[in-house]
Amino acid sequence: MNPETHFIPESHFTTLCERLFGELQNGEVLSAGTGGETSQFIRFNQAKVRQTGKAADHYVVLSLMHQQRQAQGGIPLQGELDADWPELHQLLQKLREEVQQLPEDPYLILPQNTGSSQERHSGRLLATDAVVPALLPAMQGLDLSGIWASGFLCQGSANSEGQTHWFETETFCLDYSVITPNEKMVKTTFAGTEWDQAAYEAQIQQSREQLKVMERPPKRLEPGNYRTCFAPAAVKEFLSLFSWGAIGEASIQQGASALGKMRNEGQVLSPLFQLSEDFRNGTVPRFNHHGEMAPEYLPLIVAGRLENTLISSRTAKEYDLPSNFATDYEGLRSPVILAGQLPEEQTLSALDTGLYLSNLHYLNWSDRMGGRITGMTRYACFWVEHGEIVAPIENMRFDDSLYRIFGDQLEAVTNKSHFLPEVDTYDGRQFGGSYCPSLLVKEFTLTL
């Protein structure tokens, strides 16, 4: 396999599916999902290349349904029909045996044909041999560690009812930290679909400027309430918890949602806070692993009021509700927090005196049903006086409520919403990311 090429084309997946569907027996229904990447990875440490390589990885997962039962399994793909077809045929036979042994699933979602789709987004990426010459010069003189990942991503879906979906894109991401001699860090990400050398060099220079401030003696804060500005990366960390027992309809129905007070007690957030699921930016597939197409745009929280939740077809069937075709885990896939009115360049002057938090870490619910969040300040977090950054702060733990952060303490939202990509690579590079502005709050509670 040549990792420089899109080694598994859509036509290969389509041919395999056609053969599989032709093998089905009476009463059997089959859906197939696929995904993969051809990527270049480079690991940097102390602004030097420590490891580099290319990866070509692709898989297919089958779901066989029969008599209200479902069995699933998957295999990696090699990209050659003579190699992949026998493996998939054997997998189908194995699932056929397994499905008879499983209990009935009362909420099983059977595939349908509601229309097919194709979506392709071409990027303008650095050639693999141009990456190091483009990145290294700007890094010189920094203790910089990070990961570069770049290349092609795809995802596909097909079912025996005749529906097919295909999504592909090309992206790059440099996720990095720069470190002071006393091990203080500035962490950030430079990512996109079209390489811009000037923008990259400007961001590295901004990291240099922040690093100079991090070298100042840190300020120790006492526990208490502080006027605070959250940078977009910090806002993204809060937003990630919405996918974990908050915005999903199942968690609300089960009485375990952080947004349950909004549904059941009439609690509202600030009218400045607006959250939507928006696939119009083309960074992530609209179809889920069932092949169901989510709405192109779904308002979730409008002017501080809970307008919609994410509802999977399984939840819809269990609670007799209309589905908006969320994934089974009912998490955000393409979230956007609407920008506000505060000019971004006036953020520090609007803060005046208080905290500027670039990053947060180790977030968790301290009281999920109450909407309380705990975590740590991390990396470039600063004390600001009269609109000027004075010093970094020592790491502090916080515990506060989303009903305060996004509610009665929210004072302003900046007028630009920044794209923050998903950078996880545990099971392969991820699609998409979040669009987040900065938030200015009147009080934020540090605990120790």
pLDDT tens for each residue of 315-336: 999 999 999 999 999 999 999 9
Residue 176: pLDDT band with limits 50, 70, 90 = very high
Residue 428: pLDDT band with limits 50, 70, 90 = confident
Closest by Cα among 282, 295, 302, 305 to 326? 295
pLDDT of residue 426: 78
Across the range 36-45, mean pLDDT stands at 96
Across the range 4-25, mean pLDDT stands at 86
Which amino acid appears at position 224 of this protein?
A: G
Residue 231: pLDDT band with limits 50, 70, 90 = very high
Across the range 216-245, mean pLDDT stands at 96
Is the pLDDT confidence value at 3 over 60?
A: no
Spatial separation of the C-alpha atoms in residues 78 and 191, rounded to whole Å: 29
Spatial separation of the C-alpha atoms in residues 41 and 52, rounded to whole Å: 6
* Residue 315 exposed, middle or buried by CB count within 10 Å (0-12, 13-18, 19+): buried
Is the pLDDT confidence value at 142 over 60?
A: yes
Q: What is the CA radius of gyration of the chain?
A: 24
88 within 8 A of 16, measured Cβ to Cβ: yes
192 and 237 belong to one structural domain: no
The answer as to whether 5 is a domain residue is no
pLDDT of residue 74: 97
411 and 358 belong to one structural domain: yes
Closest by Cα among 158, 63, 137 to 102? 63
The answer as to whether 15 is a domain residue is yes
231 and 202 belong to one structural domain: no
Spatial separation of the C-alpha atoms in residues 144 and 146, rounded to whole Å: 7
Cα angle 153, 158, 160; round to 5: 165
- Domain limits at 186? 10-214
277 and 426 belong to one structural domain: yes
Residue finishing a domain among 164, 179, 214: 214
Residue finishing a domain among 165, 186, 214: 214
Look up residue 103 and give its DSSP letter.
P
SS3 state at 180: coil
Across the range 53-71, mean pLDDT stands at 96
pLDDT of residue 5: 47
Residue finishing a domain among 165, 183, 214: 214
293 and 370 belong to one structural domain: yes
190 and 239 belong to one structural domain: no
Across the range 287-310, mean pLDDT stands at 97
pLDDT of residue 7: 61
In sign, the C-alpha dihedral spanning 242, 245, 248, 253 is negative
User: Residue written as tokens 């529906």?
Assistant: 163
The answer as to whether 191 is a domain residue is yes
296 and 264 belong to one structural domain: yes
The answer as to whether 1 is a domain residue is no
Closest by Cα among 292, 327, 285, 293 to 310? 327
Range in 100-114, 201-215, 371-385, 418-432 the model is least confident about: 418-432
Range in 36-45, 264-273, 417-426 the model is least confident about: 417-426
242 and 151 belong to one structural domain: no
How many domains, the chain?
A: 2
142: CATH: 3.30.2290.10
439 and 346 belong to one structural domain: yes
For 201-216, what is each residue's pLDDT tens digit? 999 999 999 999 999 9
pLDDT of residue 303: 98
266 and 391 belong to one structural domain: yes
208 and 242 belong to one structural domain: no
Phi, psi of 231 (to 5 degrees): -70, 165
Residue 427: pLDDT band with limits 50, 70, 90 = confident
The answer as to whether 270 is a domain residue is yes
Give the number of other Cβ atoms within 10 Å of residue 324's Cβ.
Answer: 20
Kindly report the average pLDDT of the chain as a whole number.
Answer: 95
For 381-414, what is each residue's pLDDT tens digit? 999 999 999 999 999 999 999 999 999 999 999 9
324 and 407 belong to one structural domain: yes
Across the range 254-282, mean pLDDT stands at 96
Across the range 342-355, mean pLDDT stands at 98
